[in-house]
Amino acid sequence: MDRENYEILQVSETATDEEIKEAYERLKKKYNEERWQDGEAGTEAARKLGRVETAYREIMEERAVHDESGLFGEVKTAIRKGDIGKAQSLLDGCDERNAEWHYLQSVVFYKKNWMNESKKQLEIAMKLDPSNERYRTDYEKLKARADYKTQSGAAPASDTSRPVDDDQMGGNACVNLFNTCVCLNCLCNCMYCCR
């Protein structure tokens, strides 16, 4: 769910497991050698080595959690390929709305940058499967990211929950209709006052 992990390993989200492992091994070797340098250079290399190891572990855990066969496997594949529309369509057609369905819906919302909706779906997934550590970990990451954006002066989490394309949710159509009505009302009032 976290594209940062892919950035740390310098691979795309559509990379194969083998490509990810190769990138991990390359960076691990590099930072493992550099961490023995004196001063800040060694300290920074040790930090980067820790990040690389964490990123690799989290990516592989996320990919290995469930069997990639079946409907949820198709959804994960679509998400990994960046085909969010297909992933959403597959989820919409699914009758079984269990914890994993809500988790995957959360991932789709996250990819659309709908943070509040993503958080809500993760909360449902955690209620349905309270022992699932992955749900809890991703929820904490999502909360931390929202808190960081709010504290750093970036747009509050509530602002980032709006879809990229408001027309998809009917947002612009409603706003445009409202604005048109207000303008017509003003024109009518002006015409009435001028008589």
Q: Residue 40 sits in a domain of what CATH number? A: 1.10.287
Q: Which of 76, 54, 25, 81 is nearest to 137 (CA)?
A: 54
- Please tell me the pTM assigned to this model: 0.47
Total domains present in the chain: 3
Q: What is the pLDDT of residue 180?
A: 64
pLDDT in tens, 132-164: 888 888 898 888 877 766 666 555 444 443 333
7/59 same-domain check: yes
Structure confidence at residue 184 (pLDDT): 62
> Sign of torsion, CA 164 165 168 169?
positive
Regarding whether 171 and 159 lie in a shared domain, the answer is no
Domain match, 184 and 97 both = no
**Is residue 87 domain-shared with residue 160, that is, in the same domain?**
yes
Are 133 and 179 members of one domain?
A: no
Amino acid at 14: T
Q: State the CATH number of the domain containing residue 135.
A: 1.25.40
Q: What is the DSSP letter of 167?
A: G
Q: Are residues 114 and 178 in the same domain?
A: no
Q: Are residues 112 and 171 in the same domain?
A: no
Q: 56 and 8 in contact (C-beta within 8 Å)?
A: no
Domain that holds residue 92: 68-164
Terminal Cα-to-Cα distance of the chain (whole angstroms)? 63
**Predicted pLDDT of residue 156:** 47
| Residues 36 and 112 placed together within one structural domain of the fold | no
Below-50 pLDDT ranges, the chain:
1, 66-67, 156-171
Strand locations in the chain (E) = none
Cβ–Cβ < 8 Å for 71, 94: yes
Residue 194: the pLDDT is 56
For 92-114, the pLDDT digits (tens) are 988 778 888 999 999 999 999 89
Residues 4 and 55 in one domain: yes
**What totals of helices (H) and strands (E) does the chain contain, helices first?**
10, 0
